[in-house]
């Protein structure tokens, strides 16, 4: 009976089904997560959740199970409510027929008192009540306004106080029409009751009470619920199988990622995760593969860098050691000392540049780079750097084109910009063939009315850079010339330092290359709002 009352309460307008369904799902997920954490904390091989797959499968299974339980409860409630409503309609009709029958007997009776009418036409009224009660599968009682039983379909004798005065007053005040109750102790169990008030010109004079213990058709209701449960179980089984395969498909890329990640830890960067579909898991797998490509490329560049640095350190040190030993033991004649000391000096400077690049890389990665922003003449700075390459330019008989109509002052770190310009010109001179051309252009650009920038371009003729290598030019240790045929002294850090320095200045660098023709690197720097000449006034 408690379950019946619960189901009956579902028809109340205050019951928010969607709200409670959401709460059910949330509770399931929280409980699942708690159990997952608990069993993982135990460290037992027999714990319930051994994988994400088991967690997903269990969570979705519980959600589907509780959803079907709620669905069955709701449908059962709807069936019960429908049965109750059908029963109420039948009881309403029964009470109306009974009331019309009593009114008919009152009209033909000389004594209009309801008690007198019931005595005078007792058999006829009793037969009518039995017929209607049988059809309605209910008991019908007629009571007066004091609660005294007048007559009934169960052949009960008239009885004072049959229904309490409190119940009668509630009925007469229209506070109770349908009730599920014991009628203030009249019945031993809950009954569905309907009260119909008989009225005359003088007011209410009697009440027709129709009571039933059978709410709807129990056999039909039971069969419908069994059918619903049976269908729900089959649907649940199908859903469970679907969830199994869907979870397996979702988890498979994660398993692959885990396996490949373990191989990465062992130094094997060759494996990749299979990407299928366009969902979030596929996007994760694709991102993982991209990361793997970057790691593999970085590992390759690191190995290449170690080989290059070892070579670049060993070669000048061997040269220095050999020439110094030759001078000390007299193998090199005294008149040749100056010549070989010059070579030693050049090799020392080469080592110094290498160490300087490594230190700058270390500071950059540690975030220890502090810029000293000043206003300086970019045109003059570029000319100074260019002059330092005079010997190399003459040796290769290069044509230099310097396009600069006016001196441009910029705001930046002078030393950092010296390194940037030096690295770019060094690359241009290094990769330009004999009798080639290096072109440097400096000109002002107007970004908007209040913002101006200086544009610096360094372009050289030569073999150019393949399009597929351009995205990697500014990565650490990357060297386009793998054979070291043209770049015998580089470490693959020059352009990385250029890129990092410009980013620290809030700028970027662009590269354009036509294979077999030209390569151009360009960047911009901010021009001070007030020219240096005005500041000095």
DSSP string, 390-419: HHHHHHHT-EEEEEESS--EEEEEHHHHHH
Q: Are residues 361 and 380 in the same domain?
A: no
Residue 193: give its domain's CATH number: 3.30.450.20
Which residue, of 368, 391, 422, is where some domain finishes?
368
Q: pLDDT: is 163 or 25 the higher one?
A: 163
How far is the C-alpha of 33 from the C-alpha of 368, rounded, in Å? 43
- Asked if 166 and 202 sit in the same domain, the reply is yes
360 with 373, same domain: the answer is no
At 536 the pLDDT is 46
Asked if residue 335 belongs to a domain, the reply is yes
Q: Are residues 388 and 321 in the same domain?
A: no
DSSP letter for 159, please.
Answer: B
b vs e for 365-403, b when ≥16 Cβ sit within 10 Å of the residue's Cβ?
A: eeeeeeeeeebbebbebbeebbeebeeebeeeebeeeee
Is residue 252 in some structural domain? no
Q: How many domains does the chain have?
A: 3
Indicate the helix (H) or strand (E) that contains 445.
strand 437-446
pLDDT tens figures, 490-508: 567 788 889 988 998 999 9
**Residue 11 reports pLDDT greater than 50:** no
Q: Could you read off the pLDDT of 195-221 as tens digits, one per residue?
A: 888 888 888 889 898 888 766 556 666
* pLDDT above 70 as % of the chain: 79
Domain-located, residue 235: no
User: Are residue 426 and residue 337 in the same domain, yes or no?
Assistant: no
What gap in Å lies between CA 134 and CA 124, rounded to an integer?
A: 16
User: Is the domain of 143 the same as that of 289?
Assistant: no
Domain that holds residue 494: 369-536
- 327 and 361 share a domain? yes
Q: Which CATH number is 467's domain given?
A: 3.30.565.10
Q: Are residues 406 and 457 in the same domain?
A: yes
Handedness of CA 95, 99, 105, 110 (dihedral sign): positive
Is there a single domain that holds both residue 198 and residue 51? yes
Q: Which of 63-77, 222-236, 510-524 has the highest mean pLDDT?
A: 510-524
Over residues 47-67, the mean pLDDT reads: 70
For the whole model, what pTM was predicted?
0.44
d(CA 286, CA 292): 10
- How many Å apart are CA 393 and CA 121, to the nearest integer? 136
């Amino acid at each position: 009976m408690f379950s019946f009352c619960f189901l009956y309460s579902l028809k109340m307008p205050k019951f928010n089904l969607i709200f409670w369904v959401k709460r059910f799902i949330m509770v399931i997920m929280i409980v699942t997560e708690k159990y997952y954490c608990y069993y993982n904390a135990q460290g037992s091989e027999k714990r319930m959740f051994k994988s994400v797959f088991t967690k997903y499968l269990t969570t979705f299974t519980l959600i589907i199970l509780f959803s079907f339980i709620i669905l069955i409860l709701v449908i059962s409630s709807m069936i019960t409510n429908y049965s109750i409503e059908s029963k109420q309609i039948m009881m309403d009709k029964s009470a109306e027929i009974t009331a019309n029958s009593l009114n008919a007997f009152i009209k033909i009776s000389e004594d209009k008192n309801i008690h007198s009418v019931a005595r005078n036409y007792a058999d006829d009224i009793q037969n009518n009540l039995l017929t209607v009660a049988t059809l309605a599968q209910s008991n019908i009682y007629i009571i007066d306004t004091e609660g005294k039983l007048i007559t009934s379909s169960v052949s009960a004798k008239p009885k004072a106080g049959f229904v309490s005065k409190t119940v009668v007053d509630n009925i007469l005040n229209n506070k109770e029409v349908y009730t599920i109750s014991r009628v203030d102790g009249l019945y031993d169990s809950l009954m569905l009751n309907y009260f119909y008030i008989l009225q005359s010109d003088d007011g209410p004079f009697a009440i027709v009470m129709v009571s039933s213990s059978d709410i709807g058709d129990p056999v039909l209701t039971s069969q419908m619920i069994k059918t619903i449960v049976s269908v729900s179980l089959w649907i649940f089984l199908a859903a469970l199988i679907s969830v199994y395969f869907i979870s397996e498909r979702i988890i498979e890329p994660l398993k692959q990622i885990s396996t490949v990640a373990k191989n990465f830890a062992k130094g094997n960067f060759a494996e990749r995760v299979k990407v299928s579909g366009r969902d979030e898991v596929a996007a994760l797998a694709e991102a993982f593969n991209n990361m793997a490509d970057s790691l593999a490329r970085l590992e390759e560049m690191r190995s290449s860098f170690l080989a290059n640095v070892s070579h670049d350190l060993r070669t000048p040190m061997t040269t220095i050691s050999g020439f110094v030993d030759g001078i000390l033991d007299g193998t090199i004649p005294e008149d040749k000392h100056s010549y070989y000391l010059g070579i030693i000096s050049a090799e020392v400077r080469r080592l110094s540049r290498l160490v300087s690049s490594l230190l700058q890389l270390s500071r950059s990665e540690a975030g220890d780079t502090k810029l000293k922003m000043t206003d300086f003449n970019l045109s003059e700075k570029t000319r100074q750097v260019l002059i330092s390459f005079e010997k190399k330019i003459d040796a290769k008989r290069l044509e230099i084109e310097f396009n600069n109509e006016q001196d441009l002052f910029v705001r930046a770190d002078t030393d950092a910009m010296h390194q940037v310009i030096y690295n770019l010109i060094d690359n241009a001179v290094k990769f330009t063939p004999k009798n080639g051309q290096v072109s440097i252009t400096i000109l002002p650009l107007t970004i908007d009315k209040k913002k101006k920038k200086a544009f610096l371009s360094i372009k050289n003729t030569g073999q150019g850079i393949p399009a597929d290598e351009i995205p990697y030019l500014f990565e650490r240790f990357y060297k386009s010339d793998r054979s070291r045929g043209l770049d015998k002294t580089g470490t693959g850090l020059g352009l990385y330092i250029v890129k990092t320095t410009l980013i620290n200045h809030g700028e970027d660098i662009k590269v354009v290359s036509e294979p077999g023709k030209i390569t151009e690197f360009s960047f911009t720097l901010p021009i001070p709002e007030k020219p240096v000449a005005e500041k000095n006034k």
